[in-house]
A and B are shown apart, each in its own frame.
Chain A
């Protein structure tokens, strides 16, 4: 248990460091910044406590907000996907949702893509809605959210494949 905890903390730290030091500086087309830290919430095991996930989401979101000066936009998006994660699991995996590590191994590809995309898209839509905070910019919000979700999904998918292969 302790070993697993240390492993998880190390994983979260590496991901956060990657986000803060590399991906935050990354501006594809001038505005695309992949949020690879979302991999933490994608890989959070279904057997772990959901309340801990909410607090973890809050702390990670806060760290990202402080580093990007986004004043709580990441935090709110992150705690929202952490809160909704149980429902997204059920929607994506159905009866297999309660199996440990269900999202990574031995699940249909479509379910996995659906789960990854749902989490990332919901996060991006909430994040850009808060960033623009203007109903007149709805099309811009969805455009940014769409492009960013795709970029984030590709990177998270690649990292997930690497982790699962190892």
Chain B
């Protein structure tokens, strides 16, 4: 306290000078139109610059909130898209889509599993399809109250029904455990016409995914097989090494179809 008082006493002339300058400029600002206008311009410029600066800082610190907002908006769009694309023929087949964040992910094993931060308490059910903004990711295999594990497309146990987007040729995609970017598209007969760049989408003949969700595109195929089927390499649209936000598709007709199969 004493040092503050000493400092004020030591710099009293500067403090008085600043106070008197402030009084003078107030006098100038309030009485002279020229100075009022010019100082007004300077004040506008300074306030605009400082607002821009503070706004850029606050927007940086609000990135997390903005990201969550975007995810929520994306979720709404996904719902609208799915209602439009997949449920045109049958209302309410997809009754809800939940978003979740990846907390554990691997791509370097033969049976890769992804764990997300949503579980039973968030209405995540077993055997539901999981997608990202770019396409299919996997299927929910285990659910606890707060978490769920997903069998990734990069799991040699998973076989997924698929079709070529612009044809009705049905096949299935599997992963051979070698390259995390490449899947195998099987069961496409040599009689079908395919070309590099064709898009592979879900076929809709499973409990998990409605028809038409992107999986990947053909990058290579071999028609020399003696078994009468192509050997097709499909590049996955998703980059599994950088998955972050996922969407879980809850279909209402899963239980009904399952009960029919069990009879």
Chain B residues closer than 8 Å to A61, beta-carbon distance? 24
| Cα–Cα distance between A71 and B38 once the two chains are bound (Å) | 14
Known: A71-B32, A71-B35, A134-B38. A76 touches B12 (CB 8 A): no
Stretch at the interface among B13-21, B95-103, B142-150, B186-194: B13-21
Known: A76-B21, A133-B34, A133-B38. A83 touches B27 (CB 8 A): no
Q: Which of A54, A72, A79 contacts B27 (CB 8 A)?
A: A72
Chain B residues closer than 8 Å to A55, beta-carbon distance? 16, 20
Chain A residues closer than 8 Å to B38, beta-carbon distance? 133-134
| Cα–Cα distance between A109 and B14 once the two chains are bound (Å) | 31
B25 touches A54 (CB 8 A): no
Q: Which of A51, A75, A82, A83 contacts B24 (CB 8 A)?
A: A75
Chain A contacts with B in 20-60, Cβ cutoff 8 A: 50-51, 54-55, 58
Chain B residues closer than 8 Å to A50, beta-carbon distance? 13
Known: A76-B21, A76-B28, A130-B28. A83 touches B34 (CB 8 A): no
Interface status of B31 (Cβ within 8 A of chain A): yes
| Cα–Cα distance between A73 and B21 once the two chains are bound (Å) | 10
Chain A residues closer than 8 Å to B21, beta-carbon distance? 76, 79-80
B14 and chain A: residue at smallest CB distance: A83
Chain A interface main SS type: helix
Size category, B interface: 10 to 19
A50 and chain B: residue at smallest CB distance: B13
B13 touches A83 (CB 8 A): yes
A71 touches B27 (CB 8 A): yes
Chain B residues closer than 8 Å to A76, beta-carbon distance? 21, 24-25, 28
A111 CB, min distance to chain B CBs, angstroms: 23
B27 touches A75 (CB 8 A): yes
Known: A71-B35, A134-B38. A54 touches B16 (CB 8 A): yes
B35 touches A133 (CB 8 A): yes
A54 and chain B: residue at smallest CB distance: B16
B32 and chain A: residue at smallest CB distance: A71
B12 touches A71 (CB 8 A): no
B32 touches A54 (CB 8 A): no
B13 touches A54 (CB 8 A): yes
Chain A contacts with B in 60-101, Cβ cutoff 8 A: 61, 65, 71-73, 75-76, 79-80, 82-83
B24 touches A54 (CB 8 A): no
Known: A51-B12, A76-B25, A83-B13. A58 touches B31 (CB 8 A): no
Q: Which of A58, A65, A73, A133 contacts B20 (CB 8 A)?
A: A58
Chain B contacts with A in 99-125, Cβ cutoff 8 A: none
Chain B residues closer than 8 Å to A75, beta-carbon distance? 20, 24, 27
A83 touches B17 (CB 8 A): yes
B20 touches A54 (CB 8 A): yes
Task: From A51, A79, A134, name the one whose CB has the most chain B CB atoms within 10 angstroms.
Answer: A79
Task: From A65, A72, A80, A82, name the one whose CB has the most chain B CB atoms within 10 angstroms.
Answer: A72
B27 and chain A: residue at smallest CB distance: A72
Bitwise, B18-52 to A at CB < 8 A (1) or not (0) is 00110111011001101100100000000000000
B28 touches A79 (CB 8 A): no
Q: Could you show 18 A-B contacts with beta carbons less than 8 Å apart?
A: A51-B12, A54-B13, A54-B17, A54-B20, A55-B20, A71-B28, A71-B31, A71-B32, A71-B35, A75-B24, A76-B24, A76-B25, A79-B17, A79-B20, A79-B21, A83-B17, A130-B28, A133-B38
Closest 7 CB pairs of A and B: A72-B28, A72-B27, A71-B32, A72-B24, A83-B17, A71-B31, A76-B24
* Extra 4 A-B pairs, beta carbons < 8 Å, given A58-B20, A71-B31: A55-B16, A72-B32, A80-B21, A133-B34
